[in-house]
């Protein structure tokens, strides 16, 4: 049996890859960021607690690595190709997640010349966003980040 017969045409492989990326993103997003029907997912996250499994649901990127493990089997069962597919699926899901993110902060120019980062209103179930700026001051009363220049 030829390799092409085992894996299908290049178009079929591309379609399987895209479907696997979308499925990986969807399941990962559901488990990491949504309540689920009847709040079943949020209750599951609560029961997982602060242990290893619970901490996985706090990080989309980490969780996508685990979710993409079985999805990579749609692409290959050969170990080296499976490993490459596994990482590619997780990476694709992470890219999709970044494309859908709201900006963490909106930059405004304050009157004193410092850059002022206004944090958008967050809902009850919003996840905290890490800030990559150094020397950032957070003004809790005004709900803003002040970045000295």
**pTM across the whole model:** 0.64
Place of tokens 């990986």: 24
Residue ranges of domains in the chain: 3-100, 106-147
Q: What pLDDT was estimated at residue 2?
A: 41
Nearest to 96 by CA among 148, 23, 38: 23
| CA gap 20, 89 in Å, rounded | 7
Pair of tokens at residue 87: 């990482």
21-43 residue pLDDT tens: 999 999 999 999 999 899 999 89
Contact call for residues 83 and 100 (beta carbons, < 8 A): no
86-95 residue pLDDT tens: 999 999 999 9
Least confident of 4-13, 68-77, 78-87: 4-13
């Amino acid at each position: 049996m030829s390799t092409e017969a085992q894996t299908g045409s290049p178009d079929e492989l591309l379609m399987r890859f895209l479907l696997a990326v979308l499925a990986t993103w969807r399941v990962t997003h559901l488990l990491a960021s949504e309540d689920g029907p009847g709040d079943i997912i949020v209750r599951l996250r609560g029961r997982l607690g602060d242990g290893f499994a619970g901490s996985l649901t706090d990080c989309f990127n980490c969780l996508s690595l685990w979710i993409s493990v079985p999805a990579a089997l749609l692409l290959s069962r050969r170990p080296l190709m499976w490993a490459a597919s596994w990482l590619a699926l997780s990476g694709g899901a992470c890219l999709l997640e970044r494309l859908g993110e709201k900006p963490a902060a909106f930059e405004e120019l304050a009157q004193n010349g410092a850059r002022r980062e206004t944090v958008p209103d967050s809902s009850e179930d919003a996840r905290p966003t890490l800030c990559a700026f150094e020397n950032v001051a957070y003004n809790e009363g005004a709900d803003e980040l002040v970045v000295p220049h």
